[in-house]
Every structure is written in C-alpha cells, then in structure tokens.
Structure 1
Amino acid sequence: MDKSLYIAMTGARENMLGQQVRANNLANVTTNGFKADFEQARAMRVFGDGHASRVYSQSERPGTNLSSGALIETGRNLDIAIHGPGWIAVQSPDGTEAYTRGGELQINAANELVTGNGLPVLGAGGAPIVLPPAQQVDISYDGAITVRPQGDPAAALVQVDVIKTVLPEPGTFFKGPDGMMRTDDMVPLPVAAGVQLRSGYVESSNVNAVNELTSIISLSRQFSMQVKMMKNAEENSSAAGRILQN
C-alpha cells in the first residue's frame, strides 16, 4: 500500500488534536481568568531506506497565551482581579502550589478562602487562608484581607492575612491538565511585591471567539482533505491490485 496513506493519516490525526485545543479554548470563552492555549503543526521528515521524501505532520502546544483579559466589575467584595502581571497562589488537590487568575473567591464550610472551583487560596506564608466568622470581608489592592468579626462594631477591623501573589519568569510556566499554571521545576515561587489587585472585579477569558471558530473551520477543511487523500490512496492500491491479478 502506498505510504501516502500513512502521511494523510498523520495529517488527519493532528488536525483532530488541533481541533480539540481550539474547541477547548472556545468552550472557555466565558470562563473568568482562563488563558487560551496555542496550537500549531510542523512537518517531520521521515528518514530511513530510500530518499527522505516523505513528510509527516506533528501538532504541538507551544505554550499558553498569558495576555490579560478585560476586567469586569461585579461589586462583590470577594471578587478580585489582578491589574497587570501577576498570579494568585492556590493549593491544588495534590497539595502542590499552583497559580490562577480566576478571582471569584468564596468562603467554604471550613471558613477557608477558596476559588470558584474550591481550591484553597494561599496566604503570604504559603498556607491556606482561614477566616474567622465575620460580618464583612474586604481585600485591598495589595492582597491584604481585613475582616470585621461578628458582633464587633464597624470600626473594629482586623487584618487576617495577605493573599500570596507571584511574578514568574517568562518561559518558566506551563499549564497543567487541570487548567492551573505551575513552574517547570514545581518549586513554589516567592511572594512578589507590586502585584495589584482590584476588589469588586473579575478578569474575563482572553479567548478570541472569532479567531478560535475560524481556526476550527480551517482545521475541519484540512481534515476533510486528508480523508480524501486516504480514499485516493485506497483506490490506487485497489487498482494496482487488479492490474497485478490480470
């Protein structure tokens, strides 16, 4: 059977993987703090017996688009958005430190400050933030958490902790399967000074829906072309078989 069949097969497979990346981006166009994944394909020459004339395709995710999304005002005290560079430190389910820009914070049944998907937010000391029973919780621009304990007068404010924010070096970050960002060596980053938070806001996704939809359509057409090439290779093989039989 002609080797063009396998070349077309690899092209169709990588087109499908590319569509998965783009579809995941498009599905998270309304997910606050989501960062879109890049996707690309490259040619891989095949070496071996004969001339290296066959070229297979290989798709890859070269990185994540870390540009900031738009800030959306909510007016909710526990909603925070990072204005400019920086990330919020959280504790992932396996106990390691991860980072996110999703600032829809909540207080769970254990009085822990958690993200919208239930991950504990870490304080400046690297431990999950636990809040006392309070009538009001405020988060300042530098991440300081101030509460008014239940039963205390309005002037009785107490600073509980400071949200840990970090500034990773470019090229040292990657997105895990859970959508959280981590360092390449999995070593927790130090607290970064100068990261500014805005209370009462959340950051929207940085996905461009038009670009993602256009890419999905383009990849779908490429997939159809690859399938057509596979059918042509099959027809050529069948015709060659009939000639040999005669």
Structure 2
Amino acid sequence: MDRLVFIASATAARLETAQAVAANNLANASTAGFKADLLASRAALLQGAGWDSRVYAPVTGAGLDASAGALQHTGRELDVAVDGEGAIAVQAADGSEAYTRAGNLRVAASGVLETAAGLPVLGDGGPLLLPPYESVSIGRDGTVSVVPDGQGPEAQVVVGRIKLVTMPADGMRKGGDGTLRTADGAPLPADAAVGVTPQALETSNVSAVGAMVQMIETSRQYELQVRLMQSAEKTDQASSRLLSLNG
C-alpha cells in the first residue's frame, strides 16, 4: 500500500493533539493567570528510495506562552497580580514547590492562604497560616497583614510575606495541575524585587478569537488528511483491480 496512508494517519494524530491543545486554551480564556500552551512541529521528508514526495509532521516540543495577560482591578482584598516576570510560590499536591501567576487567593477553613485551586501559598518558612481576623490585606511587596478577630485597625499585625520569585526567560514547564515548574524541578530563590498589584488580577493571555481560528484551521487540516487516506485507499483498490485483470 502507498506510504501516503501511513503518513496521513500519523499527521492526523498530530492534528488531534494540536486540536486538544487549542481546545484547552480556549476553555481557559477566562482563567486568571493562565498561560497558553504551545505545540511545535516540523516537516520531515521520508527518507528512502524514490522521489521526496512524502513528508511527516513530527512534534518537536511543547511549551507555553509566557507573555503577560491584561490587568483587571477587582477591589477584592485577596486578589493580587504579580508584576513583571514574577510568580507566586505554592506547594503542589506532591509536596514540591511550584509557581503560578493566578493571584485569586482565598483562606481555607484551616487558616492557610491558598490559591483558587486549593494549593497552599508559600511564605518564608512554608505555607502561610492566618489567624482568625477581622480584615486582611496584601501589600505591594507581598506582605500579608491582618487585623485580629475582635480588635480594631490599630492592632494590625504582619503574618508573613508571600514567596515571590522571578521566572527564567526559558526553562519553565507546565505541570498537569496547571502550575509552572523549573525544567529540573529545583525551587527558585525568593526575589525581594518582585512585587504585586493588590486588589487586581492578571487575566489569561489566551486570545479567544485566535484559539477559535486555530481550532478551525486544525479541523480543516485534519479533514485534508482524511481525504488523503481515502485517496490512497481508492488508488490501492484500483491497483488491485488492474492486477486481477492482468492475472
């Protein structure tokens, strides 16, 4: 059978992966701090005898778009938008250190400051634990302050400081839980120069229109590969008929 059918089927499988990536990006177009996933592929000629007329499309790697999303002021005391190339350090489900740009924080029933996904936010000595409070605020340097329960504003105390880090220009990868990690898994040092914008959130950097266009283009390319497979099947059937006549 013509090798076209195998190449078309392999390309269709790659397009299915690309479609899943685009669909995931579109689904997170309104997720705070979300960074769009990227998928790279290249054209590779099939080596061997004959004309160079068969081309594979192997995936060369996956990454993420680290560009910043738009700033949205919310007025909520536990919302923060990380400035520049910084990120918030959190404790992943496996106990390792991970990072996120999603600053829509909350306080768990246990008093632990955590992300909207339920991951504890790290401070200088581990997860930040807040005592019962009347009010809470987060400063531009990531300092978390509370007015203890039953007391007035003059009794405000500092609970701790959110661990903020500077992400390297490259070498960051996205985990299955949506958090960011270094390529080697090593934790990043705290950077006192990184700040936050209180009562604001960084929106997703996904363009809903762009993701939709990508899904349409990928769908059309997938249909093209299906037609190529059908064409290869018809060619094979015609060849079989000719061989049977000659026989």
Q: 1: distance between equivalents of 2:172 and 2:40?
A: 19
Q: 2: distance between equivalents of 1:235 and 1:115?
A: 56
Instruction: Report the counterpart of residue 137 of structure 1 in structure 2.
Output: 136
Which deviations, in whole Å up to 9, do the C-alpha atoms of 1:43-88 show, x marking residues without a partner?
123335x257332112354421111111111111011111222000
In structure 2, stretches of 5+ residues that fail to align are: none
Secondary structure, aligned partner of 2:63: coil
Instruction: Report the counterpart of residue 5 of structure 1 in structure 2.
Output: 5
Instruction: Report the counterpart of residue 201 of structure 1 in structure 2.
Output: 200
Q: 2: distance between equivalents of 1:179 and 1:70?
A: 19
Instruction: Report the counterpart of residue 29 of structure 2 in structure 1.
Output: 29
Instruction: Report the counterpart of residue 88 of structure 1 in structure 2.
Output: 88
- Coordinate RMSD, CA, aligned: 1.3
Give the letter for the 1:90 counterpart: V
Relative to the length of structure 2, the TM-score reads 0.95
Instruction: Report the counterpart of residue 233 of structure 1 in structure 2.
Output: 232
Q: Please tell me whether the aligned partners of residues 36 and 207 of structure 1 are also in contact (alpha carbons under 8 angstroms).
A: yes
Give the letter for the 1:241 counterpart: S
Secondary structure, aligned partner of 1:38: strand
Q: For residue 152 of structure 1, report the CA deviation from its aligned partner.
A: 2.0
Instruction: Report the counterpart of residue 111 of structure 1 in structure 2.
Output: 111
Q: Please tell me whether the aligned partners of residues 85 and 167 of structure 2 are also in contact (alpha carbons under 8 angstroms).
A: no
After superposing the two structures, state which structure 1 stretch, 144-153 or 52-61, moved more: 52-61
Q: 1: distance between equivalents of 2:64 and 2:124?
A: 26
Instruction: Report the counterpart of residue 16 of structure 1 in structure 2.
Output: 16
Relative to the length of structure 1, the TM-score reads 0.95
Which deviations, in whole Å up to 9, do the C-alpha atoms of 1:145-203 show, x marking residues without a partner?
11111122220111111000101222121111221100011111100121111111111
Secondary structure, aligned partner of 1:155: helix
Give the letter for the 2:234 counterpart: E
In structure 1, stretches of 5+ residues that fail to align are: none
Secondary structure, aligned partner of 1:63: strand
Secondary structure, aligned partner of 2:42: strand
Which deviations, in whole Å up to 9, do the C-alpha atoms of 1:120-155 show, x marking residues without a partner?
000023x11111111111100000011111122220
Q: Please tell me whether the aligned partners of residues 87 and 99 of structure 1 are also in contact (alpha carbons under 8 angstroms).
A: yes
Instruction: Report the counterpart of residue 38 of structure 1 in structure 2.
Output: 38
Q: For residue 11 of structure 1, report the CA deviation from its aligned partner.
A: 1.5
Q: Please tell me whether the aligned partners of residues 45 and 52 of structure 1 are also in contact (alpha carbons under 8 angstroms).
A: no
Q: 2: distance between equivalents of 1:58 and 1:181?
A: 25
Give the letter for the 2:220 counterpart: R
Q: 2: distance between equivalents of 1:220 and 1:40?
A: 17
The percent of aligned pairs where both chains have the same amino acid is 44
Instruction: Report the counterpart of residue 175 of structure 1 in structure 2.
Output: 174
Q: 1: distance between equivalents of 2:81 and 2:51?
A: 52
Instruction: Report the counterpart of residue 157 of structure 2 in structure 1.
Output: 158
Q: Please tell me whether the aligned partners of residues 18 and 39 of structure 2 are also in contact (alpha carbons under 8 angstroms).
A: yes
Give the letter for the 1:180 counterpart: T
Q: For residue 106 of structure 1, report the CA deviation from its aligned partner.
A: 0.6
